[in-house]
Amino acid sequence: MSVVDEASSQMDKTIETTKENFVGIRTGRANPALFNGLTVDYYGAPTSLKALASIGVADNRTLSVTPFDVTQAGSIEKAIRDSDLGVNPRRDGNVIHVTLPELTEERRKDYVKLAHEIAERGKVAVRNIRRKTKEGIDKATKDGDFGEDEGKRLLTDLDKATKKATEEIDTLLETKEKEILSV
């Protein structure tokens, strides 16, 4: 595996991470992934909500959370209420219902801004991978491990991989932006 292939693989992981971060941004529809980053105080230990409950979609704007351990329903409800999602959960027996409010135009713009920040973090990570790989190629060429032509070819391939990765992040951002702004 060449250094460019390794860098490409790292860039692909960065794209996947960016994609996962986009899932957490709310659109007009209810999505269980909204709770991906949510942790609950489970007997003093921060535990992911997904490990403590099953999350389902009741309808377009409602999620239902069913705790595996019914004694934890209160702490799960508190964690959802205290999150930055801006929702007010209500309990119906052992099931917690979370109705997502309609998104206002202002809130949609905030989510678009957040999507841009996530995309920019992804692109910065890709550029950092490129910089480290380029430094390695330059050093190897200088030390005589690669010939001049081989070093130039590797740098050209690295630039192509970087361009491909940043374009993919831009495409993901564009798709997410349309998703957020569609009413």
Angle, in degrees to the nearest 10, between helices 105-143 and 148-181: 170
Q: Give residue-wise pLDDT tens across range 60-90.
A: 788 899 999 888 888 888 888 888 777 889 8
DSSP 83: S
Buried/exposed code over 70-83 (b: 16+ C-beta within 10 A; e: otherwise): eebbebbbebbeeb
The answer to whether the beta carbons of residues 115 and 26 sit under 8 Å apart is no
Query: What architecture is the 32-99 domain classified under in CATH?
Result: 2-Layer Sandwich (3.30)
Q: Give residue-wise pLDDT tens across range 45-56.
A: 898 888 889 998
Q: What are the boundaries of each domain within the chain?
A: 3-25+104-182, 32-99
The answer to whether the beta carbons of residues 80 and 65 sit under 8 Å apart is yes
Q: What's the CATH class of domain 3-25+104-182?
A: mainly alpha
C-alpha to C-alpha distance for 77 and 146, rounded to whole angstroms: 59
- Do 3-25+104-182 and 32-99 have matching folds? no
C-alpha to C-alpha distance for 77 and 53, rounded to whole angstroms: 11
Pairing verdict, β 95-99 and 90-92: antiparallel
pLDDT band at 183 (very low <50, low <70, confident <90, very high): low
- Global confidence as pTM: 0.73
- What is the pLDDT averaged over residues 30-48? 84
